[in-house]
Amino acid sequence: MAPDVEAVFRAEYGRAVSVLVRFLGDIDLAEEAVQDAFATAVQRWPATGVPPSPAGWIITTARNRAIDRLRRESSREARHAEAALLHAADTPAEEGPVRDDRLRLIFTCCHPALALQAQVALTLRLLGGLGTDRIARAFLVPEPTMAQRLVRAKAKIRDARIPYRVPRDADLPDRLNGVLAVAYLIFNEGYEGSPELCAEAVRLGRLLAELMPDEPEVTGLLALMLLIESRRTARQDEGGALVPLPEQDRDCWDRDLITEGQALVRRCLRRNQPGPYQIQAAIQAVHSDATTADATDWSQILQLYDQLMALAPSPVVALNRAVAVAEVSGPAAALTLVDALDLARYRVFHAVRADLLRRLDRTAEALAAYDAAIALSENPAERAYLERVRRAL
């Protein structure tokens, strides 16, 4: 694909598919029509140049392709869809409904009747325009497995008739949580080593924030991702080992992302409808505020963790809170909290315990805890760091 077309493809694929799904009532037909239109663009644009409204051109061309295709078929459904398409041809392609179409597509992809893995794959495929091969690579599954997963999910949407609409107000909070969980899952998957997935999650976060400006948790999730993303380069040393937050070179942090993330945190907290994503974003904002690790306002972070525990308690949140307790009240108090948690299968639990034991000069126990963390760690960067600290003991 030519660079021009590639850029338009990545930016507009989801928008075009979402509009065509509404016309055609079928995701596969919509994808085919949009891919046809891009194939035409690849042939034409080098000679004619990119049209003034590439998205409009793609949607119009896809619609015409779909009409041609439907005319070649003669079933009742095809005639019905063709009439709808012709009727819709009079409406401009980029007015209000388009915004709703993308929201409809998001809620369809993230429908709770689909397995979480299928929701993630559909979201990346239909909204992000990512190829099946790239999604498979990012999630370390064979491409045929991923292709099969997408085929099954699309078939279920069609056969069980998962509706193409934004949920009613009564269902929206639940359903929105599902959408945010998918976006954050994509981000966390990327955090482990696929920058492309992180970028995709941030793009999705920006889209959600644009489509749902009145949902503070949506803003909170975007802020959280931007603030974590701002430390990407500082998070690894030359040898590829993980550099934990206190040891990072803060000059390497991306100031633009921090400024944007912090502004979003301030904006959503002003609405005074706190939620888990907003509070986690606020915690990251406090870290981003500190010019040195020693300047971190740990008591504020601890207060935020108390709030998070009240809203969305979980053993993992309690573990992170204990890290803040160690900074405010000392490692002994934190160790008492950590030892009460049932997280023996979670590598971070052992890494936190090891660090606390090290600070308490309980070296033998610290070594055993590092060994447990190293044994559970699947990420080479993280393992390299843990092994270095263990050796230093």
Residues within the interface to other proteins (CB under 8 A): 111, 113, 159-163, 167, 171
Whole-number minimum distance, CB 97 to other proteins, in Å? 19
Give me the least distance between CB of 214 and other proteins, in Å please.
Answer: 23
**Displacement of CA 232 from its chain's centroid (Å):** 15
Nearer to other proteins by Cβ, of 163 and 315: the residue is: 163
Considering beta carbons, is residue 103 or 162 the nearer one to other proteins? 162
The first and second tokens of residue 8, run together, are: 């338009």
Shortest Å distance, C-beta 98 to other proteins: 22
Beta carbon of residue 161, minimum distance to other proteins (angstroms, whole number) = 5
CA distance 224 to 287: 12
* Beta carbon nearer to other proteins, 160 or 332: 160
Smallest gap, in angstroms, from Cβ of residue 390 to other proteins? 47
Closer Cβ to other proteins, 150 or 166, answer by number: 166
Rg, C-alpha atoms of the chain = 24
Q: Which is nearer to other proteins, 115 or 140 (CB)?
A: 115
Minimum CB separation of residue 74 from other proteins in Å reads 19
Give me 119's structure tokens.
């929701």
Q: By C-beta, is 165 or 266 nearer to other proteins?
A: 165
